[in-house]
Amino acid sequence: MKRNKSSYFVGIAFICIIAAFFGSVIFRFYRAQVYFDYGGTTAQSEISAPSASSAAESVWVKEYPFDEDEKFSYDRKTEVVPQTVQTQSTVSKKTEYLTYVNWFKNSVDYYTTKLLPGRMRYVEANALFSKTVGMKIIAGTDSVVVMKNGYLTFESAPADTSEAVESVKWFSDEMKKRNIDFSYVQYPSKEDKNDEQLPDGVVDYSNKNADSLLAGLEKNGVNYLDMRPLLSQKDSDWYSDFFKTDHHWKPETGVWASGKIAEMLNGKFGYSLDTDIGNLENYNVDVYEKYCLGSQGKIATLTYADPEDISLVYPKKSTSFTVQYDNDAAKTGAFEDVMFNRNYLNKDYYNNSAYSTYINGNKTITRIKNNDCKNGKKILIIGGSYNKCVVPYLSQDFESTELLDRRYFDGSVLNYIDKTKPDVVLVAYTPTLISDASTHSSTFNFE
Name the pLDDT band for 74 (thresholds 50, 70, 90): confident
Shared domain for 316 and 419, answered yes or no, is yes
Instruction: Average the pLDDT over 213-229 and give the result.
Output: 98
pLDDT tens by residue, 363-377: 999 999 999 999 999
Asked if residue 382 belongs to a domain, the reply is yes
Q: Using one digit for the tens of pLDDT, what is the confidence trace for 127-158?
A: 666 677 666 777 665 789 999 999 999 999 99
Predicted confidence band at 51 (pLDDT cuts at 50, 70, 90)? very low
DSSP 196-250: --PPTT----HHHHHHHHHHHHHHTT--EEEHHHHHHHH-S-GGGGB-SSSSSBP
Do 103 and 141 lie in a common domain?
Answer: no
Give the contacts of 331 (CB within 8 A, at least 6 positions apart).
322, 323, 324, 337, 338
Structural domain harbouring 154: 129-433
> Is residue 13 domain-resident?
yes
Task: Confirm if 44 and 325 have CB atoms less than 8 A apart.
Answer: no
Any domain includes 443? no
Q: Do 411 and 264 have their domain in common?
A: yes
Residue 440 domain-assigned (yes or no): no
Q: Are 55 and 107 in contact (CB under 8 A)?
A: no
The answer on 140 and 103 residing in a single domain is no
Say if residue 79's pLDDT is above 50.
no
pLDDT, tens only, 278-314: 999 999 999 999 999 999 999 899 988 999 999 999 9
Average pLDDT over residues 49-60: 54
- Whether 17 maps to a domain, the answer reads yes
Task: Please report which confidence band the pLDDT of residue 15 belongs to, taking 50, 70 and 90 as the band edges.
Answer: confident
* pLDDT(21) > 80: no
215 & 235 share domain: yes
Domains: count for the chain: 2
Whether the pLDDT of residue 175 is over 80: the answer is: yes
Query: Does residue 447 form part of some domain?
Result: no
352 or 417: which leads in pLDDT: 417
Q: Is the pLDDT of residue 205 over 50?
A: yes
Terminal-residue alpha carbon distance, the chain: 73
Same domain, 65 and 194: no
Q: Are residues 13 and 159 in the same domain?
A: no
| Percentage of residues of the chain with pLDDT beyond 70 | 74
In degrees rounded to 5, what are phi and psi of residue 241?
A: -85, 0
167 and 212 share one domain:
yes
Domain assignment present for 69 = yes
Query: Helices marked H in 133-205 — which ranges?
Result: 162-177
| Per-residue pLDDT at 45 | 37
Determine the Cα–Cα distance for residues 275 and 258; give it in Å rounded to an integer: 8
Instruction: Identify the pLDDT of residue 255.
Output: 99
> pLDDT by residue (tens digit) across 227-249?
999 999 998 899 999 999 999 99
**Is 50 exceeded by the pLDDT of residue 46?**
no
Of 83, 118, 153, the domain-final residue: 118
CB of 108 within 8 A of CB of 29? no
pLDDT score of 188 more than 80: yes
pTM metric for this prediction: 0.81
Domain boundary among 77, 98, 118: 118
Q: Residue 394: enclosing H or E segment and its boundaries?
A: helix 391-394
Does 120 score more than 70 pLDDT?
no
pLDDT for residue 118 is more than 90:
no
Does residue 185 share a domain with residue 256?
yes
Give the SS3 label for residue 89.
helix
Mean pLDDT of 11-31: 63
Residues 325 and 188 reside in one and the same domain:
yes
108 shares its domain with 135: no
pLDDT band at 100 (very low <50, low <70, confident <90, very high): low
Residues 6+ apart with CB under 8 A from 341: 43, 356, 357, 359, 360, 361
Kindly state the percentage of the chain with pLDDT values over 90: 65
Domain boundary among 80, 98, 118: 118
Amino acid at 151: Y
User: Is 55 a residue whose pLDDT tops 50?
Assistant: no
444 in a structural domain: no
The pLDDT-based confidence of 115 (bands split at 50, 70, 90) is low
Q: What per-residue confidence (pLDDT) applies to 183? A: 99
pLDDT in tens, 243-275: 999 999 999 999 999 999 999 999 999 999 999
Q: What are the start-end ranges of the H helices in 39-118?
A: 52-56, 59-63, 85-109
Same domain, 272 and 159: yes
Averaged pLDDT of the chain: 85
* Region of poorest pLDDT, from 36-40, 115-119, 164-168: 36-40
Q: What is the pLDDT of residue 113?
A: 57
